[in-house]
Amino acid sequence: MRQTERHAGGLRAALAIARRDLVEFVRDRRTLFITLLLPMVTYPILALSTALGLRTASSEIEAQRAPTKIVVTVSGPDAIALVDRIGFVEKKTTGSGREGWPSAIEMEAVTAADARGRLDQGVADLWLEAPRGCIAALDADGTVAIPVHLPPGRPPNRRVRDQFDAVMRSLAEDVRSRRIQLAGLPASVLAPLKLVFVDGLEESRPPPAHSIMSTLAGGVLVLLAVLTLTGAFYPAIDAIAGEKERGTIETLLIAPCGSRDIVFGKFLAVFTVTLATLAANAVSIAATAAVSRRFLPADITMALPDSAVVAILVTVLAFAGLAALSAATCLAVTTASKSGKEAQNTLTPVILLVSALAGTALLPGMRSDSLLAAVPFSGQVLVSRGVFAAGEAGPHAVPAVLGPLAVTLLSAAAGTWLLLRATASMLTDEDILFRGGDVAGAGFNRPGRRTRPNVVQGVLPIVAGLAALWYVQGISPDDLVRAIPLQQTAAVILPLLAVTWWQRVDIRQTFRLAWPGGAAGPATWWGGVGWLVGAAALGAAVFVIGATTLLAVKGTVLSDEARLLSNKLLELMESQPAWVSWGLMAALPAVCEECLFRGWVQSGFAGRAESRQRVVAAIVAQAALFAVFHLLPERMPQTFFLGLVLGGLTHASGSLLPAIVCHIAHNSMPLALLAAGLPRWALPASVGCLLLGAVLLTNGSRGRSRMEPLE
Amino acid sequence: MRVAMIEVVDLVKHYRASDGSVVRAVDGVSLAVHPGEMVGLLGANGAGKTTTLRVLATLLKPTSGTARVAGCDVRHDPVGVRRSLGYVSATTGVPDRLTAREIFSSFGELHGLEAAGLAARVERLIEVLDLASCADRPAGRLSSGQRQRVSLGRALIHDPPALVLDEPTNALDVVGARDLLSFLAQLRGEGRAILLSTHRLHEIENRCDRFVIIHGGRVLATGTRDELLAAWADGQGAELEDAFFAALAGGGAG
């Protein structure tokens, strides 16, 4: 009903709602505490505990590095000679050659009994036994074994051992030089290669404490992401769930403006508060960092990059996008709730999820110069970390992070827009407004018999499947003959069977169990065959084009995981009969995944009415989940595209069969190519098949949109 | 022939319950309210009163039938309906942290009122609703009666010709209810069409011009107080409540 009034209130109404909500937020002490006070106390406390820890750690490092005097007793027939030789090496070694040495070495030659007594009394740190002829042997050849005794009954002093090792390394160096000289070889035999760094990189090597600071900076960015989301938490609850609880939401809904204007106004208010939280966090971080310079060790505080201003600016921009995304996320989640308490219960797992997402940015190998910058909440942390790292490499490296910044901002804007659209749709949903429980809770209730799952129920088997996949890794056998059926059973079949039984949906409608008839007319046998043949051609084409594109963009370089998987698949194809390989690689995953994604998930996302916008959103969303489900980042674009094609096929044909055939054809291509090789005409033929498929899909979709909904 | 300000014809509203069954909340209700008329919508809990009023307020979409306010159809011109309608429900609250003055101003802005005219309108409402002493106090610190008057003022900010109230006296004491109904009578005198639902029949027995009794989503009886008493109650001293129960019993609710 509200679609016809989209421009009725417009920006003016949105601004009026934003002003009204902001006044309410400002008068709420809880919001003020979360927005302003919490950041102001969080970072000083964090800095205080960190500074104490760093100072302790730094002191320990310094203490371990500080040279000390060591006392060594030497016994045995060649004791005096060994003491003399070490004394000689001590006098000879100077400058950097004494790195790691003690400040002084006190050595004395005594009897074995005296040596043991001194070691037991703690007078000596070490006791060496010099066997007869050891010095002569050192000057000849072979390896001389010198027994070393440590003090009994107490743990050996690591520092003494390290410093003594350094002295012995110098003695060994001296022995090598003597042997080279005796053999008439030049001294360069021992140093055949010397690296000379001409661009000063050697000097700019970060100090040891730098890694601590880098880790700390990553942690602060994750904390900033979580606290920024927290800034949107209470305002969003207050803005919608709170209004429902107070009974004031109806007064807004009967104002002469559209639901999108209402949602946009509320978004502006929550976004403003979230930005204020971000600003308070930024100010607190800056103030805390300025003060902490007085307390942190010097080598840590000097680790700020040269282009710190640019880095801070990029971080603020990236996190402004995160603030928008946070505000929209919290609004969307709370819109499905009927009370503040319910909204808190729903938002708490979201905060945990966001924390995990932001935390993944700290994992080794996560780089901002990839599509990972587009991942919500991880991307912003990655980009910010990247710009600080680039700043350390020099100001000239900073422009390289502008691309990832643009990606993360665009991703945040797109995510925000989609979430606000969903919120506007949910805001006027009669079921959510006036009847029943909240949508989030509905996924966990066993409903009466219904034709299709809803959106939340649509996601449930994927979440359960991913968790099951993780657990199965622990018991999964190495050979794919057993591993593939086990993984498909755990990740797809069991979750799908469980939700289908629990939700009591109409299996025929949900999984589109019908002969593909298209939309143009009644289903005919030959028409269906046409769909299946076209789908098979489309699947093969998508594989060839996807693989060719991947090779062109990425080359043959694969991640470790992808290489391992490819090797295992090749091994499977070579070791098993063709029908076994085909069944495991092509047929089984295709049937299982089509039932899950194009059957259950797409039906749930498309809803009963199947409006054009809803169907497009459902196809895109299930394709995204399909790509994520495959867990290999380099394959995600190709898998996403395949998901779009399969989703379009299912909708256009009104049947799951073409998608299954298309998926099987797609998965069969590696086997076919291994057997027959890649003919020259494969790529042009694939493009032709793809175009033909696109035309078929477009025609089918047009027809479908004219049809009555399935129910 | 007088044109109805609020008009409902064969209104049907069905929805699907959580167990999958279809609930017929409103099943063919028709009624009309003319300018300068106050009509009471009577019915037991679950009769379909609130659903009917929510459809009129454009909060629910009708399954079939028509509902119009000032000639605007709720399905095709919901914004027109909202511009002509003031709506107050039993669950309608007021924002606790805003003052009456701020609430009136913000809703005036939402209705597109210009600043100068809005300020005058706010002052006028504060005066007629007797809110001068508490106009700048947060609504969370007002009494139930004062809050209900603020709610009514919010519904009247754009000077609508039609007013729909769902059990407006529920949270009020006897004095508050009498004052509110007196004020509604005053609004009727200004030519507004008023449709209100209530369980407290004695309060509106002598204030409404006509009554519509509904049950199970259907209209059981309609008419003035005297017409209803003549049709459904017998004997001297009968009250509207007697006619109401008789109508329910006759309609199969007994």
Instruction: Answer whether B19 sits within 8 Å of A447, measured CB to CB.
Output: yes
Q: Kindly state whether residues A96 and A149 are assigned to the same domain.
A: yes
Instruction: Answer whether B110 sits within 8 Å of A16, measured CB to CB.
Output: yes
> Model confidence at A393, in pLDDT bands (50, 70, 90)?
low
Q: Kindly state whether residues A554 and A422 are assigned to the same domain.
A: no
**Whether residue B254 has pLDDT greater than 70:** no
Q: What is the mean pLDDT of chain A?
A: 80
pLDDT in tens, B89-143: 877 688 889 999 999 999 999 998 888 889 999 999 998 888 899 999 999 898 8
Q: Which residues of A touch B165 (CB under 8 A)?
A: none
CA–CA gap between residue B254 and residue B249 (Å, rounded):
4
pLDDT in tens, B54-64: 999 999 999 99
CA–CA gap between residue A675 and residue A661 (Å, rounded):
20
CB-based contact, B19 to chain A, within 8 Å = yes
Q: Note whether residue B137 is domain-resident.
A: no
φ, ψ for residue A485 (rounded to 5)? -60, -40
pLDDT in tens, A59-112: 776 676 677 888 899 999 989 999 999 888 888 888 777 788 888 889 889 999
CA–CA gap between residue B67 and residue B69 (Å, rounded):
7
Q: Kindly state whether residues A246 and A137 are assigned to the same domain.
A: no
Which pLDDT score is estimated for A700?
Answer: 55
Q: Note whether residue A386 is domain-resident.
A: yes
8 Å CB contact between B32 and B1: no
**Whether residue A202 has pLDDT greater than 70:** no
Average pLDDT rounded to a whole number, residues A355-383:
80
pLDDT in tens, A469-481: 888 877 878 778 8
Which pLDDT score is estimated for A699?
Answer: 59
Q: Which of A52-56, B144-148, B153-157, B239-243 has the lowest mean pLDDT?
A: A52-56
Domain boundary among A434, A466, A486: A434
Which pLDDT score is estimated for A598?
Answer: 93
Q: Note whether residue B121 is domain-resident.
A: no
Residue in B15, B58, B89 closest to A435 by CB: B15
**Whether residue A439 has pLDDT greater than 60:** no
Cross-strand partners of A438:
none
User: Position A92: which residue type?
Assistant: K
CA–CA gap between residue B253 and residue A3 (Å, rounded):
40
Q: Note whether residue A362 is domain-resident.
A: yes
Q: Who wins on pLDDT, B247 or B77?
A: B77
ipTM of the complex: 0.90
Q: Note whether residue B109 is domain-resident.
A: no
Which pLDDT score is estimated for B69?
Answer: 94
Domain boundary among A186, A203, A232: A186
Q: Kindly state whether residues A26 and A110 are assigned to the same domain.
A: no
CA distance A471 to chain B (A): 34
Q: Note whether residue A454 is domain-resident.
A: no
Q: Kindly state whether residues A265 and A117 are assigned to the same domain.
A: no
Q: Note whether residue B24 is domain-resident.
A: yes
Which pLDDT score is estimated for A708?
Answer: 37
> Model confidence at A300, in pLDDT bands (50, 70, 90)?
low
For residue A131, count other CB atoms closer than 10 A to its CB: 16
Enclosing domain of residue A82: 67-186
Q: Note whether residue A320 is domain-resident.
A: yes
Q: Which of A60-69, A532-541, A615-624, B161-170 has the lowest mean pLDDT?
A: A60-69
Which pLDDT score is estimated for A345?
Answer: 84
Cα pseudo-dihedral A538, A540, A542, A548, rounded to 10: -150
Instruction: Answer whether B18 sits within 8 Å of A447, measured CB to CB.
Output: yes
**Whether residue A4 has pLDDT greater than 60:** no
CATH of the domain at A172: 3.40.190
Residue in B97, B98, B110 closest to A257 by CB: B110
Tell me the CA end-to-end span of chain A in Å, nearest whole number.
Answer: 21
Average pLDDT rounded to a whole number, residues A589-608:
89
* Chain B from 138 to 157: CB within 8 A of any A CB: 138, 154
**Whether residue B165 has pLDDT greater than 60:** yes
Q: Which residues of B touch A31 (CB under 8 A)?
A: none
> Model confidence at A156, in pLDDT bands (50, 70, 90)?
low
CA–CA gap between residue A701 and residue A711 (Å, rounded):
18
> Model confidence at B70, in pLDDT bands (50, 70, 90)?
very high
* Burial of residue A494 (number of CB atoms within 10 Å: 0-12, 13-18, 19+): middle
User: What percent of chain A clears pLDDT 70, i.e. is strictly above it?
Assistant: 81
Q: Kindly state whether residues A548 and A695 are assigned to the same domain.
A: yes
CB-based contact, B110 to chain A, within 8 Å = yes
Which pLDDT score is estimated for B163?
Answer: 94
> Model confidence at A706, in pLDDT bands (50, 70, 90)?
very low
Which pLDDT score is estimated for A703?
Answer: 47
CA–CA gap between residue B213 and residue B225 (Å, rounded):
11
Q: Kindly state whether residues A19 and A91 are assigned to the same domain.
A: no
pLDDT in tens, A28-70: 888 888 777 888 888 888 777 777 776 677 677 667 667 788 8
Q: Who wins on pLDDT, A528 or A9?
A: A528
Which pLDDT score is estimated for A210?
Answer: 53
Which pLDDT score is estimated for B18?
Answer: 64
pLDDT in tens, A441-485: 555 566 667 778 877 788 888 888 888 888 887 787 877 888 888
Which pLDDT score is estimated for A523?
Answer: 54
Average pLDDT rounded to a whole number, residues A383-396:
70
> Model confidence at B231, in pLDDT bands (50, 70, 90)?
confident
> Model confidence at A218, in pLDDT bands (50, 70, 90)?
confident
CB-based contact, B17 to chain A, within 8 Å = yes
Q: Note whether residue A11 is domain-resident.
A: yes
Q: Kindly state whether residues A386 and A531 are assigned to the same domain.
A: no
CA–CA gap between residue A581 and residue A575 (Å, rounded):
9
Q: Kindly state whether residues A689 and A636 are assigned to the same domain.
A: yes
Shortest CA distance from B92: residue in chain A: A247
Instruction: Answer whether B85 sits within 8 Å of A256, measured CB to CB.
Output: no
CA distance B96 to chain A (A): 8
Q: What is the mean pLDDT of chain B?
A: 88
Q: Kindly state whether residues A74 and A44 are assigned to the same domain.
A: no
CB-based contact, B98 to chain A, within 8 Å = yes
Q: How many domains, chain A?
A: 3
8 Å CB contact between A535 and A615: no
* Nearest alpha carbon to residue A46 among A226, A302, A307, A312: A226
Which pLDDT score is estimated for A663?
Answer: 93
Q: Kindly state whether residues A140 and A24 are assigned to the same domain.
A: no
Domain boundary among A368, A400, A434: A434
> Model confidence at A299, in pLDDT bands (50, 70, 90)?
low
Q: Which residues of B touch A436 (CB under 8 A)?
A: 17-18
CATH of the domain at B191: 3.40.50.300
Q: Which residues of A touch B (CB under 8 A)?
A: 1-2, 4-5, 8-9, 12-13, 16-17, 19-20, 23-24, 27-28, 243, 246-248, 250-257, 430-431, 433-437, 442, 445, 447-450
Enclosing domain of residue B43: 6-92+161-250
Q: Kindly state whether residues A352 and A417 are assigned to the same domain.
A: yes
Which pLDDT score is estimated for B81?
Answer: 94
**Whether residue A301 has pLDDT greater than 60:** no
Q: Which two tokens stand for residue B214?
A: 């509904």
| Residue A517 CB partners (closer than 8 Å, separation 6+) | A523, A524, A527, A528, A653, A654, A655
* Nearest alpha carbon to residue A463 among A438, A432, A499: A499
Q: Who wins on pLDDT, A643 or A66?
A: A643
**Whether residue B214 has pLDDT greater than 50:** yes
> Model confidence at B19, in pLDDT bands (50, 70, 90)?
low
Instruction: Answer whether A254 sits within 8 Å of B58, measured CB to CB.
Output: yes
* Nearest alpha carbon to residue A122 among A154, A163, A167: A154
Q: How many domains, chain B?
A: 1
> Model confidence at A133, in pLDDT bands (50, 70, 90)?
confident
Q: Note whether residue A193 is domain-resident.
A: no
Q: Note whether residue A451 is domain-resident.
A: no
* Nearest alpha carbon to residue A42 among A295, A211, A231: A231
Q: Note whether residue A104 is domain-resident.
A: yes
> Model confidence at A244, in pLDDT bands (50, 70, 90)?
confident
Which pLDDT score is estimated for A475?
Answer: 81
